[in-house]
Structure 1
Amino acid sequence: MKSILHFLLILCLLGPGALRAEESQLPRATPESQGVSSKAIQDYIQTADREVNSMHSFMLVRHGKVVAEAWWAPESAEKPHILWSLSKSFTSTAVGFAVAEGKLSIDDPVLKFFPDDAPENPSANLKAMRVRDLLTMNTGHQDELNWREQADWAKAFLAHPVPHKPGTHFRYNTPATYMLSAIVQKVTGQTVLDYLTPRLFEPLGIEKPVWETSPQGISIGGYGLYLRTEDIAKFGQLYLQKGMWNGEQLIPKAWIDMATSKQVSNGSSLESDWDQGYGFQFWRCRHGAFRGDGKDGQFCIVLPEQDAVVAITAHTGNMQAELNVVWDKLLPAFGDQALADDPKAREALEKTIAELKSSR
């Protein structure tokens, strides 16, 4: 009884927001209890600190529990971080919700949504472009539009030459993601940010996300979203759980399967994580994984075979090297069974993490 009264007193002093914040967090556990050694995680952090210039944050989730989290000063757990193109995976998720609600089909032609913005004589390839082609970066463009110099981004996109048949030519294309955002806004009457808030952000306990907009007031879609590291981890965990969250199916499993599977080929190198195929604004990785990623090293890596999620923010010019540290140091560390408790190794890991917060 005394402990309950003590808890209620603390809650009254801190206010109801404290309870909500606690409830919205992913559960925590020791690494060993989830089959990962603290020593291996320490090795990963020290290697990343040494070889990735520069790391900002890292969170590892195993079996749905956070087993390690680290921030390099001046970053912190509560500080939102720019996601750059990792934003694209959230835009894709908005499309998934809209499809599930019957507001559009991925086989709808893009021009259907922009009758007033189309060129006077649209090409056959532009007429053939579908929502699916926007999702898979197969719009048929040869060059990416320099849209930021345009007065109206959607109109400029539709006026841009489409020399290839849509669906046949992979070309990474941030304006294509903007068009997905614009389409969601057309069919829902809300920005992607507002549309996702009750469907994704609030159920996951993602508080006050910020998403930059175009001059037309449309969420940029391809970048511009700011979230905390744990928010990225929650998003990855939702996809790992095939759209299920707290017993509720937020996104249809069929959409998750499509979005994260190889929809198009984008290369043939066995050594590159950018040549393993592309889904609906998600990249396939080596080792059976998939990810959302953004410029300078923002990653949401989902490893279904290991039942794990890795969230990373950084500012690096070598994103492949950043991923390689994950594959080299973390991938071998996942065990099938819980490990014996190792307080000494865990203390060493915690010391390493504490030093990151004060080393810069």
Structure 2
Amino acid sequence: MTEQTDARLPRAGGVDPAAVAAFVRAARDVGNELHSLMLYRDGAVAAEHFWWPYRPELPHSLHSVTKAFTATAVGLAVGEGRLAVTDRVVDLVADRVPRDPGEHLAAMTVEDLLTQTSGHAFGVSGVAWRGLRTSWVDEVLRLPVEHRPGTHFAYSSATSLLLSAAVTAVTGDTLADYLRPRLFEPLGMSAGLRWDTTPDGINTGGNGLSATTEDLLKLAVLHLRHGRWRGRQLLDHGWIEAATADSRGNSYGYHWWLAPEQGAYIAYGAFGQYAFVFPDRRVALAVTGSAPSIVGDRLPGVVFEHLPALTGGVAGAVDGPGDEPTLGRHELLPPPARGRSTVESAVSGRRFTMTANDDDVRTVSADFAGDSCLFSLVDYCGEHRIEVGLGRWIESSTSMPGAALHHGYEPASQRVVAAGTWSSPTAFTMTWQFVDTPFRDTVVLDFTADAVRLTRSVNVNSGPTTRPTLDGRAA
């Protein structure tokens, strides 16, 4: 019998809201927009804060924080005798290995993958494969291995994918299915936790996991407690020691970043997702947010600077509306203004045919009624809609495409909060906040006579943050 999946960590007071507010301001100053934070200290959650539309029950894409979950699965498989860190990759996925693997690929071990010293000259992001309909594992095994494994550090999601394939090969389960009775259920992780799979049914390993902030904090707390949870030793203590040791001299353990001078180790995901573990302080911290990759790595410095204040106050937990005067508004997005237009009634419901474009957008329309607008876009896949509030926010689900702006991700359906305003008499500006992700799109429809010009941009991305402008004429 498993524990309830909605089991929460205990809560307790003890953190000065002013200290949390100072940390939040400092994070914003270095470019990190925070969506949530949860601080665990001395056996309980001592501070937590969520910025609407992000909420405790909603999963958030974790990007490369996913790697820490993958390493945990490997640790559990090692503890069960299914794997050893000395096992060769070519033996574990023998049916996928090229006929002539070469000396370096043949020598590559599980530990080489865990420590990001696989021998590949360069790292590969999952965005390189997300559009593929063929095997990602085959793609990785075709990559040249230019260095002797164990000698060259190259941070890569390719290594994590191979670990995922290895666990599946020896257990017969995907990572998610393998972890469910061993980690997700015993820790009471959320029922909404989900993990992307490749076209051949392998969990992506290095990315693609969406989980709540508390799920992320629980993984950190499990490591903080040396693998014990409610009296059970779920993960071997020796594994955690090995996983958080700098055995290769790269400030990197088994898919955890190491900060020994701060007495910490960290799981980090692109655009601002973090799990911090401070064993000597008995502290764990989970953060989700949105930040350009070039500033994302600045948040650990802010955490290290503010940690003494965050863990030393006694003024009460930060977890309710009463803390708004100290922390600022609980809303990430300010209430929108509707604005004034001279063309709203003339363009409402009209379908505009777009000139040929790289995104294969064929038509768009905006149907205004009362205090909302139904925006529709038709492309080669069909019709996609978002309901947009006028002077208010509307939350819904949408299939709106956007992989080129969203680090390659394009789920069939995702949650979005949307509002629009007439930023000029003829320009309608929409904001789409995709609340399972760090991504916020700004879409402008600029109407002139019987024509429209559409521009779309995003707050963060691994590539360009603006798509080419699209032009259309009324049908």
Instruction: Say if 1:224 and 1:340 are closer, same or farther in 2 by CA, change over 3 A.
Output: closer
The match for 2:34 is 55
2:238 aligned with 1:263: no
Deviation readout 1:96-150 (Å, 9 max, x if unpaired): 1111111111101000022222222221111110011011101001123544547
Matched AA of 2:97? A
1:287 aligns with 2:262: yes
- The one-letter code sitting in structure 1 at the alignment partner of 2:207 is Y
Match of 2:145 in 1: 162
Partners of 1:61 and 1:68 within 8 A in 2: yes
Structure with the higher helix share, 1 or 2: 1
The letter of the residue matching 1:155 is D
Matched to 2:231, the amino acid is G
Which SS does the other structure have where 2:96 is aligned?
A: coil
Corresponding residue number in structure 1 for 2:77: 98
Let me know the Cα RMSD of the aligned residues: 2.3
Q: 1:321 aligns with which of 278, 290, 298?
A: 298
In the alignment, is residue 181 of structure 1 matched against residue 164 of structure 2?
A: yes
Q: 1:53-132 to 2 correspondence within 5 Å?
A: 53-132=32-111
Larger gyration radius, structure 1 or structure 2: 2
Contact 1:62/1:309 (8 A) holds in 2: yes
The whole-number CA distance in structure 2 between the counterparts of 1:162 and 1:173 is: 13
SS in 2 for 1:356: coil
Q: Which moved more, 1:78-87 or 1:283-292?
A: 283-292
The correspondence for 1:308, drawn from 283, 298, 307, is 283
The 1-side partners of 2:314 and 2:64 are apart by 40
Q: CA 1:46/1:105 → structure 2, altered by over 3 Å: closer, same or farther?
A: same
Deviates more, 1:109-118 or 1:349-358: 349-358
Q: Does 1:205 align with 2:188?
A: yes
Q: Distance in 2 between matches of 1:278 and 1:150?
A: 32
Given that 2:17 and 2:317 are in contact with CA atoms closer than 8 Å, whether structure 1 keeps it comes out as no
Distance 1:186 1:357, change over 3 A: same
5+ long unaligned stretches in structure 1: 1-18, 267-276
What's the secondary structure of 2:275's corresponding residue?
strand
What amino acid maps onto 1:289 in structure 2?
A
**For the structure 1 residues 189 and 325, does the alpha-carbon distance in structure 2 shift closer, same or farther, using more than 3 Å as the test?**
same
For the 8 Å contact 1:133–1:166, the answer to whether it is kept is: yes
Per the alignment, in what secondary structure is the counterpart of residue 119 of structure 1?
coil
- Aligned counterparts of 1:150 and 1:138: Cα–Cα separation in 2: 28
Using structure 1 for the length normalisation, give the TM-score: 0.84
Q: Are residues 1:237 and 2:253 paired? A: no
Contact 2:118 2:150 in 1 (8 A): yes
Q: 1:150 and 1:79 mapped to 2: Cα distance?
A: 29
Query: What is the aligned counterpart of 1:218 among 202, 206, 210?
Result: 202
Equivalent position amino acid for 1:80 in 2? P
Task: Quickly say closer, same or farther: Cα 1:341–1:328, change in 2 above 3 A.
Answer: closer
Q: What's the offset of the Cα at 1:21?
A: 6.5
Letter in 1 for 2:221: Q
Amino acid at match of 1:313: T
Deviations 1:217-252 (A, max 9, x none): 110010000000111111100000000000100001
State the 1:327 CA deviation: 1.5
Question: Could you give the per-residue CA deviations for residues 265-319 of structure 1, whole angstroms, max 9, x where no partner exists?
Answer: 23xxxxxxxxxx1000000024010011100010000011211011000110212
SS at match of 1:290: strand
8 Å CA contact retained: 1:283, 1:290: yes
Question: Does the 8 Å CA contact 2:13/2:314 hold for their aligned counterparts?
Answer: no
Flag the 1:288–1:132 CA change in 2: closer, same or farther, 3 A: same
Distance 2:226 2:57 in 1: 27
Partner of 2:19: 40
Given candidates 210, 227, 234, the residue that maps to 2:211 is 227
Out of 143, 148, 154, which is 1:171 matched to? 154
**1:247-258 to 2 correspondences below 5 Å:** 247-258=231-242
User: Partner residue of 2:389?
Assistant: none
Q: Retained in 2: the 8 A contact 1:170–1:265?
A: no
Cα pair distance change 1:75/1:127, threshold 3 Å: same
The equivalent of 2:364 in structure 1 is: none
1:355 corresponds to which letter in structure 2?
R
User: Would the aligned equivalents of 1:263 and 1:280 in 2 still touch at CA under 8 Å?
Assistant: no
Question: Cα offset for 1:50?
Answer: 4.6
* Secondary structure, counterpart of 1:56 in structure 2: strand
Deviation at 1:163, TM superposition (A): 1.1
1:334 corresponds to which residue?
311
Tell which has more relative contact order, 1 or 2 (C-alpha 8 A, sep 6+): 1
Please identify, of 101-110 and 144-153, the stretch whose mean Cα deviation from structure 2 is larger: 144-153
Q: Out of 268, 272, 296, which is 1:297 matched to? A: 272
Q: Structure 2-normalised TM-score?
A: 0.64
